Structure 1
Amino acid sequence: MSRILYSILLYMAIPAVLIKLVLRARKSPAYRLRWGERFGFIQKLPQDKPVIWIHSVSVGEAIASAPMVKALMGHYPNHQFVITTMTPTGSERVRKIYGDSVYHVYCPYDLPDVQNRFLNRIHPQMALMMETELWPNTIAACKARNIPVVIVNARLSEKSSRGYAKLGSLTRKMMQNIHQVACQNENDGERFRQLGLPNEHLTITGSVKFDLSVDDEINKSAALLKSSWESGLGHKAQILIAASTHDGEDKPVLDAFKTILKKRPDTLLLLVPRHPERFNSVFELSKSQGLNTIRHSQATETSPDTQVIIGDTMGELMKLYATSDIAFVGGSLIKNGGHNMLEPAALGVPVLSGPSVYNFTDISQQLEDAGGMRTIQNSEQLAAAVTELLADDAARKKMGSQAQAFVEGNKGALQKLLKLVTETIDRLH
């Protein structure tokens, strides 16, 4: 496919894209706002400082990129940093992490005139794209302006690779326009090569998701929160967290929890939906299952009858993980590819996951091989695994320690990535 044909098809798809935004806004009103940014209509930045542009599609990528961005901000205090996301939740997370220290807008769509407008208004010296953000027109526009594009913490699943391969020359040309791909592992790197990335443009750095730091404050605030819950419950609680769940997962999790309660009645379920527009519906679903349910956001005191707490706040997932004895990581019982199982692992919390982990194929397999994670196939297996681990403190703690050791043993990608990025920036001066 030629880039001209690709662009024509994208322009034809604009009405469908706008309809999708309207439909999504029914559940998440933030999608109604800031449409101009998605078409490159943004404030023009003053050109008194060089600009580094970082694109992180949503929450997970924004969190993963934060240590890199903060290190670069320290290394280049006279640069201005532009951070783009595609989702309101990603936008909210960027503002929470950086405040006013960065310029944040939604990433404009991959249309030639839109990207030209955007780049003409921010004039970046360099573009850093997180993970699998491969957009032909964006990358071509950067290449035409001699803006090096680095794909950082890059990954490419077999499914995505097959999709890009079908685009033929469009993908090959895009790969040739990329300055450098900093890949998580050799398997993903080989897929980039097969799509046409020159070998000299590939570096294997590992995943920066291993380099997440656990602040002492997280553990302190988690201990206080758990103590508060236990005070209201009137007993010590063993906590199962089901984190980042999607539609289609909450009911199986609640079914598993009801089975767990038959043998472990002191267990508390912390149920954390991935998307804020689902907080209300998941709260109602839990109550409809006959479970005594409260919402974390309302600071409601637990009572001896409390069984489920809905984690309906943003930016507190690590603290909620730290209160827990076992973590089930969602997006994995449905075909969504899973979410970051390294977050609970870094806290020494044993991890359970469903079978759909194509976003974390290598990491999940390695974590399981290290003894820090188990894969469950359904609600029944989730109930059985949790019941078994709650009954065996030694096995549960060993699994958590192995998970934490796995994370600690794989740190270092951030430093490799920073070396690559700083060398590229310094060559531009």
Structure 2
Amino acid sequence: MGFIYNIGIHLVHFGLKCASTFNEKIKKGVVGRQNVFAILRENIKANDKTIWFHCASLGEYEQGLPVFKVMREHYKRHKIVLSFFSPSGYEIRKNSPIADVVIYLPLDTKNNAKHFLDIVKPELTVFVKYDIWPNFLNELKKRKLRTILISANFRENHSFFKFYGKPRRQALFAFEHIFTQNESSKKLLQSIHYNNITVSGDTRFDRVSSQLEQDNHLDFIEIFKQDKLCIVAGSTWPEDEALLTEFINHQAPKDVKCIIAPHNMKAHQIRNIKESLTVDVVLFSEMSDEGLKSAKVLIVDTIGILSKIYSYADIAFVGGAVGTTGLHNILEPAVFGVPIIIGNNYSKFPEAKEMIDTAGVFSISNQNQLNLVLTELIENPIKRSLSGNKNSDFIKINKGALNKILEYLDL
């Protein structure tokens, strides 16, 4: 099995190189990995003490951030290495203040793992969720280097628990401890005889809770919103936007303001949204005070401020679940106590299921359902308030994973 896995990794490497000719995102990852070892040698000296954080992408980074911040403060004399597998994580957080060196993770070959650890020699390594790389982890175990996995979330259909998943299953035993999001993940680990487990919950709840302690004030949003009810649609995809623009054009009351923050920042996508609307629209990149006041819709064609914008929402729509791209983070608006609308493809997101059950989140599958839910939430302030409170309560009940992890690490 190990031989097949290693052959597969080399085939993946070849496939990515070929695909990079046609795909800009893949190209960024291929090019970014070419100089990883040179970057590491330039920034890490033989006598440096190091800590290594690894995340698959941006979502896992945000998930691990509460832990990373505390460790950054505690290990002030250590060099922090932060690695990403996906360009969508690296490109956005390559200047992260919690790390001294931010890199792409080299592909998981035996030689890369040895070379990487020869340079970095981490005293402690933290992986997030389930981005498990057998050669790196087996090499960490062989060198007896401390490694933990946080916010782990496993399902029965993961390869770890299949007959063909032996290399990845064995890699789990490189972790000295695994912190899971839930009891079901713990039981799956126990089924393969891994027992160093703590059910800590999901660090994302600690992450979004910290947003309440920050200054979320945005002057331009206040100018746009005024004293009107405001719908914030975050991380939307074209299939989400088709439903939203139809509602805005034909159903939304005149005094309701709408903010759309699309996931895709490409110029043609922004243009498509704007051209599909028959009401007054202003872009963040072109805004003026007068334009903001008169516009019914604000399109946020920039990144990094959505979590603050959610603080101004009376109703939130979170994209990704109308289509099949994957539901984006519903905890970000939930912490501000607003009702949330999502699509119906949320089966891989347990928090969505729970929040639907508690009546803070509403799932829709077509235009008519969206129109009905939005209209009711707009016209019924009591329901809007009760649903929003359900969401903020859900966040409060579920936070606390950070303290359990820090207690184990004695920080």
**Alignment TM-score > 0.5, same fold:** yes
Distance 1:110 1:90 in 2: 18
- The partner residue of 1:141 within 135, 139, 151 is 139
Distance 2:26 2:166 in 1: 38
- The partner residue of 1:325 within 296, 311, 314 is 314
Distance 2:81 2:307 in 1: 26
* CA deviation vs aligned residue, 1:272-295 (integer Å, no higher than 9, x gap): 22243x3x2332212332434332
Distance 2:21 2:231 in 1: 36
Once the 2 structures are TM-superposed, how far is the Cα of residue 215 of structure 1 from its aligned partner? Answer: 4.2
- The partner residue of 1:206 within 201, 205, 209 is 201
- The partner residue of 1:266 within 255, 269, 273 is 255
Which residue of structure 1 aligns with residue 235 of structure 2?
Answer: 244
- The partner residue of 1:253 within 244, 261, 267 is 244
> Helix, strand or coil: the match of 1:46?
coil
- The partner residue of 2:177 within 145, 170, 180 is 180
Distance 1:106 1:313 in 2: 24
Residues 1:339 and 2:339 are matched in the alignment: no
Structure 2 contact 220–292 (Cα < 8 Å) conserved: no
Distance 2:254 2:155 in 1: 41
Return closer, same or farther for 1:211/1:50 CA change in 2, 3 Å cut-off.
Answer: same
Once the 2 structures are TM-superposed, how far is the Cα of residue 407 of structure 1 from its aligned partner? Answer: 0.6
Question: Structure 2 matches for 1:13-412, cutoff 5 A?
Answer: 13-25=12-24, 30=28, 33-37=31-35, 40-44=37-41, 45-95=44-94, 97-98=96-97, 101-159=99-157, 161=158, 165-194=162-191, 196-199=192-195, 201-212=196-207, 213-219=210-216, 221-222=217-218, 224-230=219-225, 236-261=227-252, 264-276=253-265, 278=266, 280-291=267-278, 292-301=280-289, 302=291, 306-361=295-350, 363-412=351-400
Structure 1 contact 271–310 (Cα < 8 Å) conserved: yes
* CA deviation vs aligned residue, 1:95-146 (integer Å, no higher than 9, x gap): 45417x5211111111221222222221112211111111111211211221
Structure 1 contact 85–106 (Cα < 8 Å) conserved: yes
Distance 1:116 1:388 in 2: 59
Return closer, same or farther for 1:171/1:418 CA change in 2, 3 Å cut-off.
Answer: same
What letter matches 1:16 in structure 2? Answer: G
Distance 2:341 2:409 in 1: 35
Structure 1 contact 286–293 (Cα < 8 Å) conserved: no
> Helix, strand or coil: the match of 1:60?
helix
Greater mean deviation of Cα atoms: 319-328 or 241-250? 241-250
Once the 2 structures are TM-superposed, how far is the Cα of residue 92 of structure 1 from its aligned partner? Answer: 4.3
Distance 2:238 2:198 in 1: 37
What letter matches 1:36 in structure 2? Answer: Q
What letter matches 2:45 in structure 1? Answer: P
Distance 1:28 1:173 in 2: 29
* CA deviation vs aligned residue, 1:65-86 (integer Å, no higher than 9, x gap): 1221111122222222111113
Greater mean deviation of Cα atoms: 162-171 or 364-373? 162-171
Structure 1 contact 332–353 (Cα < 8 Å) conserved: yes
Return closer, same or farther for 1:139/1:331 CA change in 2, 3 Å cut-off.
Answer: same
Structure 2 contact 320–327 (Cα < 8 Å) conserved: yes
Once the 2 structures are TM-superposed, how far is the Cα of residue 369 of structure 1 from its aligned partner? Answer: 2.7
Which residue of structure 2 aligns with residue 8 of structure 1?
Answer: 7
> Helix, strand or coil: the match of 1:133?
coil
**Residues matched between the structures, number:** 405
Distance 2:170 2:361 in 1: 40
In the alignment, structure 1 segments of 5+ residues that lack a partner are 424-429
Distance 2:83 2:165 in 1: 28
Once the 2 structures are TM-superposed, how far is the Cα of residue 49 of structure 1 from its aligned partner? Answer: 3.3
Structure 1 contact 184–205 (Cα < 8 Å) conserved: yes
Q: Percent sequence identity over matched residues?
A: 24
> Helix, strand or coil: the match of 2:215?
helix
Distance 1:29 1:247 in 2: 24
What letter matches 1:80 in structure 2? Answer: K
Structure 1 contact 270–310 (Cα < 8 Å) conserved: yes
> Helix, strand or coil: the match of 1:248?
helix
> Helix, strand or coil: the match of 1:152?
strand
Return closer, same or farther for 1:307/1:281 CA change in 2, 3 Å cut-off.
Answer: farther
Structure 2 contact 270–301 (Cα < 8 Å) conserved: no
Once the 2 structures are TM-superposed, how far is the Cα of residue 164 of structure 1 from its aligned partner? Answer: 5.2
Structure 2 contact 57–84 (Cα < 8 Å) conserved: yes
Return closer, same or farther for 1:65/1:348 CA change in 2, 3 Å cut-off.
Answer: same
Return closer, same or farther for 1:374/1:158 CA change in 2, 3 Å cut-off.
Answer: farther
Distance 1:244 1:253 in 2: 13
